Amino acid sequence: MNYFSSDFKLGILGGGQLGKMLLYNTRKFDIYTAVLDASNEAPCKIACDQFQLGDLMDYNAVYNFGKQVDVLTFEIENINVDALEALEKEGVKVYPSSKTLRTIQNKATQKLFYVDHDLPTAPFTRFAYTSEIKEALNNGGLTLPFVWKSAQFGYDGTGVKIVKSADDLTDLPNVECIAESLVPFKNELSVIVSRSASGEIKTYPVVEMEFHPEANQVEYVICPARIPDEIAKKAEDVALRTSQAFNHVGLLAVEMFQTQDDEILINEVAPRPHNSGHQTIEASYTSQFEQHIRAILDLPLGRTDNKVGGVMVNLVGAEGYSGNVIYENIETIMKMDGVTPHIYGKKQTRPFRKMGHVTIVNEDLNEARRVAEQVKNSIKVISE
């Protein structure tokens, strides 16, 4: 198949920052790319060959868009899976598959998948409605504390809450959910596995994630993770087994906990490029975005090792600011060695909205982490 400078069409469902960074590579390779998104302001709009407005949860919008392309991929999980299934039946290649996405879209189904495939994950209980949890607490079927997770449509800290007392349940939506045992962990780790359509597999080095205590968002991604080799090997093995269980094509980001006694438990997975792989643009031989394109088009996979140590800092909207965005002190951070900002192109900021990221590269990972702290304390995402 000739993908380059040809009439081949790649479709991307979702026009956010992940799609925009995929487009760095479709432009590099001159692959014709069409994007579907519900927002006229989508970051992808400026960089694709064809932009279409449409609701990703709407069957007809997804189906009709998919009929125009040869291979279809996505950068977000909230998509009409029935439409993807129909397209696959009619011969459109959809990577990752509708089957994978259907399992991952629902956190309860996702957790059951791990249990069925003997993959390590924290114990959990599934509930049809949040209101049933109180009864389970009363009759001893559930003990505090636990993590409440909405089964569907949660992302970046929404749809997740640590429940320490029954009062913490009061403001939660009454939806299908899981109550997951609270894991006392040393580290949150992530491994990105890439697998091509013909089965070539590569993993990126294990990264560790440092979280913001209030926003439940990643503050720093550090690559490689500062953990012993045998723990890294364990995490990599779990990630590979997970990818294999899904028979996954494309990228699969496997987020894991390293427990106090050095067990590895799967937290959740994302079947697409992921926040824990942004540093690969500057730090790796092949970025996660290029690798995703290579994998879904069944091209040879690129090298995944690091050229240099990398730390990634998320740029999120500062609290108390909503409106037209201003990046305060961006020149200050650009004076620092090894610092590259990526601005996603969202014109409107609001508290904790992901607006960009900054990568810091250095041969000395501790120095990169020190500079990352400086970056974090200098740049502010505010509004006019």
* Per-residue pLDDT tens digits for 41-80: 999 999 999 999 999 999 999 999 999 999 999 999 999 9
Q: What is the CA radius of gyration of the chain?
A: 21
Q: Binding residue per annotation — 67?
A: no
Torsion of CA 132, 136, 142, 143, to 10 degrees: 100
DSSP state of 143: -
- Domains of the chain and any CATH numbers: 9-94 (3.40.50.20), 123-181 (3.30.1490.20), 185-383 (3.30.470.20)
* Mean of the per-residue pLDDT values of the chain: 96
Question: Which of 117-126, 167-176, 242-251, 353-362 bottoms out in mean pLDDT, i.e. has the lowest?
Answer: 167-176
pLDDT exceeds cutoff 70 at 216: no
Residue 211 pLDDT: 81
User: Per-residue pLDDT averaged across 334-361, rounded?
Assistant: 97
Q: Could you tell me how far CA 271 lies from the centroid of its own chain?
A: 8
Task: Tell me the C-alpha distance between 95 and 84, whole Å.
Answer: 10
User: What confidence category does residue 156 fall into, taking pLDDT thresholds of 50, 70 and 90?
Assistant: low
pLDDT exceeds cutoff 80 at 131: yes
Task: Tell me the C-alpha distance between 50 and 25, whole Å.
Answer: 16
What are the angstrom distances between the C-alpha of 13 and each of 51, 238, 268, 353, 371?
A: 10, 28, 21, 20, 35
Q: Binding residue per annotation — 188?
A: yes
Task: Tell me the C-alpha distance between 108 and 381, whole Å.
Answer: 35
User: What confidence category does residue 157 fall into, taking pLDDT thresholds of 50, 70 and 90?
Assistant: low
Residue 182 pLDDT: 93
Q: Binding residue per annotation — 376?
A: no
Q: Binding residue per annotation — 181?
A: yes
Q: Binding residue per annotation — 149?
A: yes
User: Per-residue pLDDT averaged across 201-207, rounded?
Assistant: 98
Residue 140 pLDDT: 87
Q: Could you tell me how far CA 192 lies from the centroid of its own chain?
A: 10
Burial class of residue 59 (count of CB atoms within 10 Å of its CB; 0-12, 13-18, 19+): middle
First vs last C-alpha separation in the chain: 49
User: Per-residue pLDDT averaged across 171-199, rounded?
Assistant: 95
User: Per-residue pLDDT averaged across 258-279, rounded?
Assistant: 97
Residue 287 pLDDT: 98
- List the one residue out of 192, 169, 209 whose CA is nearest residue 250: 192
Inter-residue long-range contacts of 216-219, CB under 8 Å, 24+ positions, other chains counted: 216/156, 216/157, 216/160, 217/156, 217/157, 217/314, 217/316, 217/352, 217/354, 218/275, 218/276, 218/314, 219/313, 219/314, 219/376
Q: Tokens 């620092």 correspond to what residue?
A: 336
pLDDT exceeds cutoff 80 at 148: yes
**287-332 pLDDT tens trace:** 999 999 999 999 999 999 999 999 999 999 999 999 999 999 999 9
Residue 319 pLDDT: 94
User: What confidence category does residue 154 fall into, taking pLDDT thresholds of 50, 70 and 90?
Assistant: confident
Return the percentage of the chain with pLDDT > 70, whole number: 99
